Amino acid sequence: MDFRAALLEQTRAFGDQIRSADPATPVPTCGDWTLRQLFRHVGRGNRWAAQIISDRRSQPLDPHDVRDGKPPDDADAAVDWLNAGAQMVIDAVERVGPETRVWTFLGPKPAGWWIRRRLHEATVHRADAALALGEQFELSPELAGDALSEWIERACVDRRLSPVLARGESIHLHASEEKLGPTGEWTIVHDGEGLWWSHSHSKASVALRGPVTDLLLATVRRRTAAEAGLEVFGDTAVWEAWLDSTPY
């Protein structure tokens, strides 16, 4: 997958979605945020990441110190600001080199890591905007699957989260799109090796099956499994405990 092209594409789609909407529209999936706050969060977040990369930072950057971190008041100019921020991430990685290690909230990582991270930040928050506006949210199966993988990977290693999965418990997600092949399955396990995940097919304490975009929305707590029409098998308490401890 070309993460650079996907970042630009998803950012453009997000901006076009919000361009003509009332900025005061509530976004129920993001607490008490409005579309204006959601837009600023995504746009400033890209510039925040780009500045971390460009400055080769080894320490976090206060979001208030982001250069040009506030969008213009004019709607069209604000969308241009949003799109430029996504391009800045890509340009910053190209300047310093994708393997140059910089600060991330998961510890030092290659600068190129930020492109995929910012891509899926836009992907999930575009879903927030669609749900707020009562619009359909669509992703290619490949992109939705990668967004799901990226989130599960982070949830398993992010020290800011405390995933609740007791030793011996496991979760299995199974996308109904056959075209995804082995990458359309996700198993999260807590065993003697600790908490880890893989694309393996296996029995689990609880399993969910359905279209991959719906699996993504349920896993990042944008829709419940029931709202998404997912099939659920096994101990639903295991699933609910995982969701309660892994806010996006």
How do residues 110-153 score in pLDDT, each as one tens digit?
Answer: 999 999 999 999 999 999 999 999 999 999 999 999 999 999 99
Report the pLDDT value the prediction gives residue 161, as an integer from 0 to 100. Answer: 78
Cβ within 8 Å of residue 226, ≥6 positions away: none
From residue 227, how far is each of 31, 150, 223 by CA, in Å?
A: 19, 23, 6
Q: What is the mean pLDDT of residues 47-72?
A: 97
Does the predicted model carry a pTM greater than 0.75?
yes
The answer to whether 208 and 230 have CB atoms below 8 angstroms apart is yes
Q: Is the pLDDT of residue 234 over 90?
A: yes
Band of pLDDT at residue 158, cut at 50, 70 and 90: confident
Render pLDDT for 15-31 as a digit per residue (tens, 0 to 9). Answer: 999 999 999 999 999 99
Report the pLDDT value the prediction gives residue 100, as an integer from 0 to 100. Answer: 98
Whole-number Å distance between alpha carbons of 168 and 172: 13
The answer to whether 17 and 138 have CB atoms below 8 angstroms apart is no
Report the pLDDT value the prediction gives residue 164, as an integer from 0 to 100. Answer: 81
Band of pLDDT at residue 166, cut at 50, 70 and 90: confident
Q: Is the pLDDT of residue 159 over 90?
A: no
- Domains annotated for the chain, with CATH where assigned, are 3-133 (1.20.120.450), 141-245 (3.30.1050.10)
What's the mean per-residue pLDDT of the chain?
96
Report the pLDDT value the prediction gives residue 61, as an integer from 0 to 100. Answer: 98
